[in-house]
């Protein structure tokens, strides 16, 4: 009797049948898990809504609310088992309060998972962009529904963010970039929104909150500072550029997450030769969205005018000898521990859109200090606009 596996792999049967069946089953299981997670998020929001509305019927709201949650927890645990502790019920309550303007509609889960990476949920029409799913109301905005790509762990992290603008930004970015819980928490802790917000005016901040990070020009890529805490390298004046470069290559996936979406790694220390002299830019990337090369040079000290001049040479070389007809002008990014803004302005043309200098930190930034710095820079931007 012929065994099933040998029969399936005979000439009468496609040899890749197993692979195709596995793909079908894996997609189905993924859809089931995704659907369950989505329905549970909606259920938790509705439970939170019921708790809040029940509390509002009590005279002494705080004491009455505690009483309601304790009793509900006992009842649900007795009926459904673990998972409905008073702590979890308070999270459900906070979830509703954080997203009380949402309409928790059932999202259309049909179709290819990889093609629906941007809409923010609620509607069955999957052609909407993030901006179209947000409804600005003055300085506020309202996102409709809950996206099925985000589970309860995502929203647990999101609802700890006090700023409505920042919370909306991280939600959009998590959907667009497929962040898992760990990626999302890392970006929140590294203050990604605040770092991107530094170079934007009030209108730019609203757009960032409504649409996420939209990369349309080189300046849209740049953060200041870049946070490299994932390298686990202590701050030290003895750090060598080669050691920093080696660590970034070792943690390339984390570095790509910090750089942002659209970056593809090309190589390191790729030699360029000018009349017998050899030069070695540290890291070369290609940006898919902007269709251009990105040359990154690492500096473990304060940026100098010589560093800027060297990057000018790298960018010109790639523009003249490497870039193809379909490529856009090369971008140069210098990562340094510190910089003199006046030196950067005087060495580079004021209209420069190709070379940028940003600081990097080996530890997560201090939120208070970074917030004060952002506020100061926004005031400078406003003063320049009023002149």
Q: Per mean pLDDT, which range of 51-65, 154-168, 329-343 is the poorest?
A: 51-65
Is the pLDDT higher at 157 or at 275?
A: 157
Query: For residue 382, what pLDDT is reported?
Result: 59
Q: Kindly report, residue by residue over 342-370, the tens digit of the pLDDT.
A: 777 767 766 677 889 888 888 887 777 77
257-to-222, 365, 384 alpha-carbon distances in Å: 13, 17, 33
Q: How many residues are present in the chain?
A: 387
d(CA 35, CA 37): 5
Percent of the chain residues past pLDDT 90, beyond the cut: 28
Percent of the chain residues past pLDDT 70, beyond the cut: 76
Q: Kindly report, residue by residue over 129-165, the tens digit of the pLDDT.
A: 333 334 333 344 445 688 888 999 999 999 999 888 8
Determine the number of helices (DSSP H) and then strands (DSSP E) in the chain.
Answer: 14, 8
Average pLDDT over residues 33-60: 81
Pairing of strands 272-274, 263-268: unpaired
CATH number of this structure's domain 220-386, picked from the four choices 3.80.10.10, 3.30.2130.30, 3.40.1350.10, 1.10.520.10: 3.40.1350.10
Query: For residue 258, what pLDDT is reported?
Result: 93
Is the pLDDT higher at 29 or at 99?
A: 99
What is the residue extent of each domain of the chain?
14-99, 101-214, 220-386
Q: Is 279 helix (H, G, I), strand (E, B) or coil?
A: strand
Pairing of strands 277-279, 272-274: antiparallel
Does the pLDDT at position 318 exceed 90? yes
Structure tokens at 320: 């003249």
Q: Kindly report, residue by residue over 196-212, the tens digit of the pLDDT.
A: 877 677 777 778 878 88
Q: Kindly report, residue by residue over 285-312, the tens digit of the pLDDT.
A: 999 999 999 999 999 888 888 988 899 9
| Confidence (pTM) | 0.74
Query: For residue 321, what pLDDT is reported?
Result: 92
Q: Please, are residues 367 and 191 in contact by the beta-carbon 8 Å criterion?
A: yes
Helix extents (H) in the chain: 4-8, 17-55, 61-80, 86-98, 152-158, 164-177, 181-189, 192-197, 202-211, 241-250, 252-259, 305-317, 341-347, 367-386
């Amino acid at each position: 009797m012929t065994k099933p596996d040998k029969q399936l792999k005979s000439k009468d049967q496609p040899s890749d049948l197993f692979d195709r069946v596995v793909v079908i089953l894996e997609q189905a299981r993924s859809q089931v898990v995704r659907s369950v997670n989505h329905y549970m998020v909606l259920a938790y929001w509705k439970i939170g809504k019921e708790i809040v509305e029940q509390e509002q019927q009590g005279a002494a709201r705080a004491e009455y609310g505690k009483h309601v949650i304790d009793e509900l927890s006992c009842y649900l645990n007795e009926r459904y088992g673990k998972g409905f502790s008073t702590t979890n019920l308070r999270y459900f309550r906070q979830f509703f309060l954080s997203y009380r303007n949402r309409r928790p509609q059932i999202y259309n889960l049909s179709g290819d998972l990889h093609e629906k990476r941007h809409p923010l949920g609620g509607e069955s029409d999957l052609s909407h962009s993030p901006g179209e799913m947000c409804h600005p109301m003055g300085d506020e905005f309202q996102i409709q529904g809950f996206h099925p790509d985000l589970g309860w762990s995502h929203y647990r992290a999101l609802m700890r963010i006090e700023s409505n603008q920042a919370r909306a930004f991280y939600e959009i970015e998590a959907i667009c970039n497929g962040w898992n819980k760990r990626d999302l928490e890392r970006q929140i802790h590294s203050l990604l929104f605040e770092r991107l917000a530094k170079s934007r005016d009030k209108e730019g901040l609203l757009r960032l909150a409504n649409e996420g990070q939209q990369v349309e020009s080189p300046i849209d890529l740049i953060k200041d500072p870049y946070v490299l805490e994932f390298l686990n390298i202590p701050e030290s004046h003895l750090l060598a550029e080669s050691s920093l470069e080696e660590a970034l290559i070792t943690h390339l996936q984390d570095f790509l997450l910090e750089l942002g979406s659209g970056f593809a790694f090309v190589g390191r220390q790729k030699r360029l030769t000018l009349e017998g002299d050899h030069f070695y830019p540290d890291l070369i990337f290609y940006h898919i969205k902007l269709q251009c090369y990105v040359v990154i040079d690492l500096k473990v000290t304060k940026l100098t005018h010589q560093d800027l001049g060297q990057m000018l040479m790298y960018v010109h070389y790639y523009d003249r000898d490497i870039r193809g007809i379909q490529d856009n002008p090369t971008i140069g990014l210098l990562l340094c521990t510190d910089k003199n803004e006046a030196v950067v302005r005087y060495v580079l043309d004021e209209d420069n859109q190709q070379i940028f200098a940003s600081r990097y930190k080996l530890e997560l930034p201090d939120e208070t200090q970074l917030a004060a710095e952002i506020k100061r820079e926004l005031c400078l931007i406003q003063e320049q606009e009023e002149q």
